[in-house]
Structure 1
Amino acid sequence: MQTKINWFEIPSRDFSRAVSFYESIFDCKLKIEETGGPRMGIFTTLDEDSVGCVIHGEHFAPSAHGPVLYLDATGSLDAILARIEPAGGHIAMEKMELPRNLGFIANFIDTEGNRLALHAQN
């Protein structure tokens, strides 16, 4: 059996700050859900499918020392990288070309202290 990511959750200490950061760097609007449990700022595809979220709640703690989630930045990696520091984040690993035409990657620390990564095919 093979698998793929079908949902992700990025923990936040300050929900509004985290939502603002991701909206700024990806130039998008997250869909805010307040269900009485954890607060979520949901990332959606162009078809409005939910794919993951920024989350805030009792059992969610940001960390730079866990698994690294790679977010798709195809066609906009340089633009996203340029928006990270002005939005309050930090570039942890500059853009790097992967071997064998596998594209480009970069790592960043968000406003909450989470380490995430970006991947772009070109």
Structure 2
Amino acid sequence: MKNNAVNWFEIMVADFDRAKAFYETILGAPMEVTDCGCKMALFPAEYDKGVGGCITLMDGCKPGEGGTLVYLNAGGDLDGVLSRIPGAGGEVIKPRTAIPPHGFMGLFKDTEGNVVGLHSMV
């Protein structure tokens, strides 16, 4: 049986409200807040059809550079997402970069110090 290599991800945060505002701003979509023993805000996704994820505020887990690298789907608007990052308080680390035949990617640092990837086929 083959499954997706990834089915869930969590990006650790220290300032939940700041991080939520950052991701809602750069992705242009609201995030649903939930509590599953820790505070989470879910990225918009069709969870019954594949990968989902969230930002998480959890005791004992800290955000930061050099950990797991997660790639968010830029939804065909990689340049738009990258352009909103500085105004939302983040930093573009790697601008649009071709990765043939797999489309394009970029890297950014969020307001919590996490380095996160973006991917788009266009």
TM-score, normalised to structure 2, is: 0.89
How far apart are residue 73 of structure 1 and its match?
1.2
Letter in 1 for 2:90: G
Distance 2:40 2:8 in 1: 13
Partner of 2:117 in structure 1? 117
Equivalent pairs counted in the alignment come to: 119
SS in 2 for 1:65: coil
Corresponding residue of 2:43: 43
Residue 70 (structure 1) aligns with? 71
Matched residue, 1:28:
29
SS at match of 2:66: coil
Cα deviations across residues 45-102 of structure 1 (Å, max 9, x unaligned)?
2x46581110002122101101211111131101100111100000011111113x32
Structure-2 separation of matches of 1:102 and 1:74: 14
**TM-score, L = length of structure 1:** 0.89
- For 1:114, the aligned partner's letter is N
SS in 2 for 1:8: strand
Q: Secondary structure at the match of 2:43?
A: strand
2:16 aligns with 15
The answer as to whether partners of 2:29 and 2:44 remain within 8 angstroms in 1 is: no
Partners of 1:15 and 1:74 lie apart in 2 by: 24
- One-letter amino acid matched to 1:82: S
Return the offset for 1:44. 2.7
Greater helix content: 2
Q: C-alpha root-mean-square deviation of aligned residues, in Å?
A: 1.7
Q: Could you list the runs of 5+ residues in structure 1 that have no partner in the other structure?
A: none
1:107 and 2:107 are equivalent in the alignment: yes
2:56 maps to 1:55: yes
Q: Secondary structure at the match of 2:87?
A: coil
Alpha-carbon distance in 2 for matches of 1:116, 1:72: 11
Structure 1 stretches of at least 4 aligned residues deviating more than 2 Å after TM superposition: 47-50
Alpha-carbon separation, structure 2, partners of 1:64 and 1:26: 21
